[in-house]
A and B are shown apart, each in its own frame.
Chain A
C-alpha cells in the first residue's frame, strides 16, 4: 500500500503497468515525480506542452494511433481545455487526466480560487467524471478505477490530487 511519501512512485508504476506510454503535461510541482520518471523511462514518450488543450488533442491522437496517454496538469489548466473536450466527448475518446489542485484546502493565493473552485463543475458540465484523492491511501484506488473507466469503458475521467493530499503551496 502506498504510504504518505511513496504514492507518486506507485502511481507511475501503476500507469506503466497499465500500458500508458504517452505522458503529456504542462508542468506542476504536484506532478514532479511522474514527469521525472517519464523523462527517465526509455519506453515512454514524455511530452511537455505549451498549453493544456494541446494535451487533450494529443491524448485523442494517441488513442487514434492505438496508444494510451495520460494528461497531467494543474487545476488552472482545466479551464484551457473546456472547448477541446468537445472533441473527446463527441468522438468518444477515452480520457485519463490527473489534475493537481490549487484554490481549495488551505490555499494562500487568492488568484487560484476561481478556477480551482470551478474545476469540478466545469469538468462535469463537459461530461468528464471526477474522482477526488484526498489522502495518500486514495491515490492508487482512484487511479486504478479511472484507468478501467477510461480505457475499458471509454469514459472521460479526471482524478484530482487535492490540496489536502499534496499540501497547499507557499506561492
Chain B
C-alpha cells in the first residue's frame, strides 16, 4: 500500500521500543470514546499501568487474564456492536500466533472501526522468555497483509507509531500496527476480578448503567 511506503517493509527494519512507553503514547492519543481490548500477558499489564492518570483510570479498557489469543475477536464483537466507536485490540506475538485465523476474519469483514496493535518481542515473556516463531522469521505484518489486512505496517520508531495510530483514529481500517518491543518488566499488574473488568468496561461504554 503506497500510503504506508514510509514504513519498514519487514520486522528486522523496525526499531525495538519500550512496551510501556508506546502503550502510554497510544493511550495519550485516545479520547473517551475508543474501546481497547488488552490481550493476555504483559501487553495488558502495561495497558493497565498506562491507563492510570491523575483523573483516574481509563474505563473503556477490557483486560484478558486468560483465554490466550482472543483479543482480536473480542474487539471485533465490540466493533460490530459499536460501529461509531474505534476499537483497538492489543495483542502479543505469542497470542496472535495462536489465532492467526482471526486476522482473516477481520479482513473478510472489512471491519472499518478496528485497529490491531501487535506487541512483538519474539518471546513468551511472562512464562520465562521462551522464543516465539516471530524471532525465527515469522513476520506478523506480512502474515496480516497476506490475510487480507492491506493497511498493515511495522512502526519504524515511536514517531511512526504515533503517526500510524493517529491515522487509524481518523481513517477507515481495518488497521494492523506491528511494534517491536523490548523485554522490560511491566510497570504494574492488572487487577484480577474478571466480572469487575467486564462491568467497568460496559459502564465505560455506557451500555450498562
Contact = CB atoms under 8 A, between A and B. Distances in A.
Interface of A: 22, 45, 47-51, 53-67, 69, 83-84, 86-87, 90-93
B159 to A, nearest CB: 31
Given A48-B108, A54-B105, A91-B195, A64 B77 contact: yes
B104 interface: yes
Contacts of A63: 77
Interface in B36-93: 37, 62, 64-70, 72-82
B26 interface: no
Interface stretch (B136-144, B165-173, B198-206): B198-206
A90 B195 contact: yes
24 contacts: A50-B105, A54-B99, A54-B101, A54-B102, A57-B73, A58-B74, A58-B77, A61-B78, A61-B79, A62-B81, A64-B77, A64-B78, A64-B201, A64-B202, A67-B81, A83-B66, A83-B67, A90-B65, A90-B66, A90-B194, A90-B195, A91-B194, A92-B195, A92-B198
B27 interface: no
Interface of B: 35, 37, 62, 64-70, 72-82, 99, 101-102, 104-105, 108-109, 194-195, 197-198, 201-202, 205, 207-208
A50 B101 contact: yes
A66 B70 contact: no
A56 B67 CA distance: 10
Contacts of B76: 47, 58, 61
Contact of B64 (A49, A53, A67, A87): A87
Contacts, number: 114
9 closest Cβ contacts across the A-B interface?
Answer: A61-B77, A65-B81, A50-B101, A66-B207, A90-B194, A67-B81, A57-B70, A57-B73, A87-B67
A88 to B, nearest CB: 9
Contacts of A47: 76, 80, 105, 109
B70 A22 contact: no
A57 B74 contact: yes
A22 B81 contact: yes
A65 B205 contact: yes
A83 B95 CA distance: 14
Contacts of B207: 64-66
Nearest to B89: A61
Contact of A64 (B65, B69, B108, B205): B205
B113 to A, nearest CB: 11
A53 B81 CA distance: 19
Contact of B66 (A54, A60, A86, A93): A86
A151 B159 CA distance: 45
A65 to B, nearest CB: 3
B77 A65 contact: yes
Contact of A60 (B72, B74, B102, B208): B74
